[in-house]
């Protein structure tokens, strides 16, 4: 721009347009980040939901040493640790009755399975 002449109304309007264009671009970038964040949160929620729905009906939790079992859990029990593995109904019943494995005191799989002590 030439510094010798004063700004015209047209110059000021063009400047105002550039300012608005810049602000709009920044706001759109911000909105795009918000949308991407929300899409990531929704994808994670869907993934957790799919994992929860795919949880086995029964879990047998192994000891820290990996030898032997510690607890039998109902599938989806919040106290089942990372050492818990899926099991079938018959396997859970055998573990409780013949294997002498303790039922989880939180989810009470023995009650759910109908095993009375």
Q: What is the pLDDT of residues 37-91, one digit of tens each?
A: 999 999 999 998 887 777 788 999 998 887 788 899 998 888 888 888 888 899 9
pLDDT of residue 35: 98
What are 112's two structure tokens? 């759910």
Neighbours of 69 (CB within 10 A): 19
Positive or negative CA dihedral for 90, 91, 93, 99? positive
Task: Tell me what percent of the chain is helix, strand and coil, each rounded to the nearest 5.
Answer: 50, 15, 35
Mean pLDDT value across the chain = 89
Q: For residue 31, how many C-alpha atoms fall within 13 Å in the half-sphere facing its CB?
A: 6
């Amino acid at each position: 721009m030439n510094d010798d002449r004063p700004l015209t109304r047209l110059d000021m309007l063009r400047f105002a347009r550039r300012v608005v264009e810049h602000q709009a671009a920044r706001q759109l970038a911000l909105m795009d980040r918000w949308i991407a964040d929300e899409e990531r949160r929704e994808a994670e929620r869907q993934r957790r939901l799919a994992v929860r729905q795919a949880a086995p009906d029964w879990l047998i939790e192994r000891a820290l040493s990996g030898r032997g079992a510690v607890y039998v859990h109902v599938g989806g029990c919040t106290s089942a640790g990372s050492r818990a593995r899926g099991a079938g109904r018959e396997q859970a019943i055998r573990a409780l009755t013949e294997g002498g494995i303790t039922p989880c005191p939180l989810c009470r799989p023995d009650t759910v399975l109908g095993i009375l002590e």
